[in-house]
Amino acid sequence: MMPSKQTTNFLPVLSLLIAATLWGVIWYPMRLLEQGGLHGAWQAVVLYATAALIFVRCWPRVFEAYPKALLNLTVMALASGWCNLSFMLAVLDGEIVRVLLLFYLSPIWAVVLGWLLLGERPSRGGLSVLAIALSGAVIMLWEPRVGYPWPETGADWLALSSGFAFAIMNVETRYLQSIDIDVKTVVAWLGCVVVAGVVVVVMGISLPVVSGSVWVGALLLGALAITVMTLAVQYGVTHMPVQRSAVILLFEIVAGALSSQLLTDEVIGWQEWVGGVLIILAAYLTAKREIKS
């Protein structure tokens, strides 16, 4: 029996909600690993290498598929690498809610890239929603000392660049419809290992001396959380339009806000509240328009 349309719509949404929840709370074990002495770049190498090795059976198909879509798979891999590494470094050093909100300006980039690369032309209403999200970003980034919006810290820059890379990765994932999800997933993980490895070498970050429990924790985080989150995202963005998947993943902000309030003493300022409300409002309006259509 063929699956109903309702079921085929439900599964991608569910997978993205699961991924968003896990991404919203994964900062906490990552901070614990950093406190144990494992630098963020080395965390990325260990976590994603572990995930890739678990799926080693897919590697022959990766090597088979790669020459057929060399450019797009390479762009996806590098975008995935920078997206994940910069996000990890941002949540380790920055304020969780602020990092998440800046990262999730990615729907702006996703809509623009989807329009330019996939021909998914936004409507006038869609452009209005983007204007709301952009207004939220301006409020969050407004710097009174200079009189215009500007990222305050390195974590801000990392979060913004991570969101842009995430949008590129999603567009490429959707474009590569003919390639299996597990193959794209392994390519994305290997891209993370490569990008993080380059950063380790360029910055001269030596292999840390940490306890065995820290290494075990990193291996388990890679084997369990990273595999589930990445597979869920890949499945979701492959089976629905780029704009809608980017909006559903905004649920990460809710998970991140709740977990940061419970587990840290970070204070959310008025700019984050107002800017965040506008960004989330834009996400809600976009989701509502998708339901109507």
How far is the C-alpha of 44 from the C-alpha of 51, rounded, in Å? 11
Least confident of 55-64, 66-75, 256-265: 256-265
The arithmetic mean of pLDDT across residues 208-223, rounded, is 94
pLDDT in tens, 124-182: 777 787 788 778 878 877 766 655 566 778 898 999 899 889 888 878 887 888 898 88
Query: Is pLDDT of 81 > 50?
Result: yes
- Which residues, in sequence order, are CB contacts of 250 under 8 Å at separation 6+? 20, 104, 107, 279, 280, 283
How far is the C-alpha of 179 from the C-alpha of 293, rounded, in Å? 28
How crowded is residue 25: how many other Cβ atoms within 10 Å of its Cβ? 18
The number of C-alpha atoms within 13 Å of 272 and in the hemisphere containing its C-beta is: 18
- What is this structure's pTM? 0.81
Encoded tokens for 63: 């090597």
How far is the C-alpha of 129 from the C-alpha of 180, rounded, in Å? 33
For helices 212-220 and 40-54, angle between their N-to-C axes, nearest 10 degrees = 50
Residues forming beta bridges with residue 149, ordered by sequence position: 142
CA 201 to each of CA 56, 79, 195, 207: distance values in angstroms, whole numbers, following the listed order: 25, 19, 10, 10
pLDDT in tens, 185-203: 899 999 999 999 999 999 9
More confident residue, 5 or 125: 125
What average pLDDT is seen over the chain?
Answer: 84
Locus of tokens 């999730």? 104
Residue 228's φ and ψ, nearest 5 degrees, are: -65, -45
